[in-house]
Chains A and B, each alone.
Chain A
Amino acid sequence: MAEILVLAEHDGETVKKVTCELLTLARRFGEPSVVWAGPGADGGRERLAEFGAAKVYVAGGDELSEYLVAPKAELLAGLVADKSPLAVLVASTAEGREIAGRLAVKTGSGLITDAVDLGDDLIAEQSIFGGAIVVQSKVRSGTPIVAVRPNAVAPEPAPGAAEAEDVSFQASDVAKSAHVIERVVQERGERPELTEASIVVSGGRGVGSGDNFALIEKLADSLGAAVGASRAATDAGWYPHQFQVGQTGKTVSPQLYLAVGISGAIQHRAGMQTSKTIMVINKDAEAPIFELADFGVVGDLFHVVPQLTEQIQKRSQG
């Protein structure tokens, strides 16, 4: 069966959900082999086996995490030359897309980013222009490289051997030119990552202040959700910029998206339009975000949100 390379997204210990999604997609076309760059492959293998990885290529060198992007692209390029896979799948995260971009240049291959599905002949579905248009795209030269949006498909378990195979890898000097000297982790509690989360609760201009975002966080925590913010809220400094959902921020595609105090300008819709279920709480019945709502409450968020949070807490205790 044809081999498909899947680049693992991991934190050095466990593999992220998006990698299980990529494995699920890869199994439609062949036998997935995971590429594990950096430390922690031993711990991650169990989950990879659960989702059908046949092999795990392990390159554990520190240089893969000490230098930005380029070494990982070199590692993949070596494997592409060596294994001639049918395709390479990566997560459509900032780093995943950059690795894919460099790999595309190295191998002269076509690259598709932000795919939301993969069909026959590896035709990728994309959602462009703020979700207004659905495109079917195809790679026509080289080894197809596809970056897939997290939450695009539901991860389905299927047993695999996840047989580890060490890859000897040494990054070239030119790939070691952007040195990561410090990782600064800013507290965000125990919440899931924004693009990975199954549920996202976002606040916008209607929230009114940074302090009031505590309401959004409480609602999110009652659901085990990630917190997002509209551009109006991040521009105002009410919530950190990396949580911005929208055209110039993150694109999310969760099972459930709650938009609170967000009017729904195209800038915001571009980042959340492919969410499966959308709930809206806004006091302005004319707000365009209601056009996307599966369920909407026209009302004062300062009343509706605490009541909703309390109801969720009550139900989860009962």
Chain B
Amino acid sequence: MNIVVCMKQVPDTWSERTLRSTDSTLDRDAADAVINELDEYAIEEGLRLAEANGGEVTILSMGPEKASESIRKALSMGADKAVHLLDDALHGSDALATSAALAAVLGRIGFDLVILGSESTDARMGVMAAMLAERLGVPQLSFASKVDVDGTAISINRQADYGYDRVEASLPAVVSVVEKINEPRYPSFKGIMAAKKKPVETLSLADIGLEPGQVGLASAATEVASFAKRPPRQAGTIVKDEGDGGVKAAEFLAAQKFI
């Protein structure tokens, strides 16, 4: 089975994240860069499915030069090879352009199964699996908390507010996963050493048949008009529980007309 895991490098949630004042795009230099946490679950699921069913796991990442560090880390977890879509013209691409570029790569390299995290921790749109499935004309199996593959049949538990839905389809398909699905492995020392020799193919826009004008900030279908730091919340009333903390809390709720 040919499994492709889409991986995005994002600013670490734990560092201070901001936008660039020049063009309102993500400031990638301001924060530490890491693998999007939900994509780690996607990588783990890809590895497990390949181990159980046979096949290969390819990491696909679109991003600047720096993304190669995260690609190496994904390879050290056990993926076999990687494709890095790297082109300055991609800077500032919105979800539409990103999905077009990723779909073009996927069309070129082929796949039985594409796996992604259900969203990225920076943009948090949660639309990439749906957009890729739409562009590729294959089933969308998203928000999976469980994935079962049997030959060319695939089924998932799709997490929902009320519980979950069982959803069935045939490969090839696009799957997105939630963090409940597994526990991502840490790269082993052996894995880290092996990753250094694994093949990483770098593709440009020209390689995938797209024009610079089809992607990037200038052609984005959405734009940031302005942004500002959220003003700090007004300091609230903090009381120490002297045996009547619950009473005081109830008085606050009553004063605010919640009870």
Contact = CB atoms under 8 A, between A and B. Distances in A.
Interface stretch (A22-30, A50-58, A94-102): A94-102
B245 A177 contact: no
B221 to A, nearest CB: 3
B34 to A, nearest CB: 13
B168 A68 contact: no
Interface in A183-227: 183-186, 188, 193-195, 199, 223
Contacts of A195: 161
A111 B222 contact: yes
Given A279-B252, A297-B245, A311-B250, A131 B237 contact: no
A184 B166 CA distance: 8
Chain B interface category by residue count: 35 or more
B22 to A, nearest CB: 15
B139 interface: yes
10 contacts: A70-B134, A113-B124, A127-B230, A133-B18, A177-B139, A180-B166, A181-B167, A185-B163, A195-B161, A303-B245
Contacts of B52: none
B255 to A, nearest CB: 9
Interface string B69-90: 0000000000000000000000
Contacts of A129: 17-18, 122
B162 interface: yes
Nearest to B159: A242
Contact of A186 (B16, B162, B245, B253): B162
A84 interface: no
A316 interface: yes
A297 B249 contact: yes
A166 interface: no
Nearest to A109: B221
Interface string A269-286: 010010001110100010
The 10 residue pairs across chains A and B that have the minimum distance between CB atoms: A299-B241, A307-B246, A101-B127, A110-B221, A311-B250, A186-B163, A308-B246, A98-B130, A177-B139, A182-B166
A310 B246 contact: yes
A112 B20 CA distance: 19
Interface in A62-79: 68-70, 73
Nearest to B231: A134
Interface stretch (A32-40, A41-49, A153-161, A287-295): A287-295
Interface stretch (B140-148, B186-194, B197-205): B140-148
Contacts of B206: none
Nearest to A103: B134
B56 interface: no
B196 interface: no
Interface string A122-145: 010001111111111111111000
A318 to B, nearest CB: 10
A12 interface: no
Nearest to A316: B259
A241 B145 contact: yes
A298 to B, nearest CB: 5
A137 to B, nearest CB: 5
Contacts of B139: 68, 177-178
Contact of A134 (B16, B140, B228, B254): B228
A310 B125 CA distance: 41
B187 to A, nearest CB: 21
A318 B162 CA distance: 34
Interface in B233-249: 233-234, 236-241, 243-249
Contacts of B236: 278, 290, 293-296
Interface stretch (B1-9, B57-65, B94-102): B94-102
Contacts of A300: 241
Nearest to A141: B221
Contacts of A267: 13
B94 to A, nearest CB: 7
Interface in B112-145: 118, 121-122, 124-131, 133-135, 137-143, 145
Contact of A98 (B121, B140, B162, B165): B140
A297 B241 contact: yes
A145 B118 CA distance: 20
A167 interface: no
B75 to A, nearest CB: 24
A307 B245 contact: yes
A132 B17 contact: yes
Interface string B34-66: 000110000000000000000000000000000
Given A180-B166, A278-B233, A299-B240, 19 more contacts: A69-B140, A98-B127, A110-B94, A111-B221, A132-B230, A136-B227, A139-B221, A178-B141, A178-B167, A179-B167, A184-B157, A241-B145, A248-B179, A266-B14, A295-B238, A295-B252, A299-B241, A307-B244, A308-B250
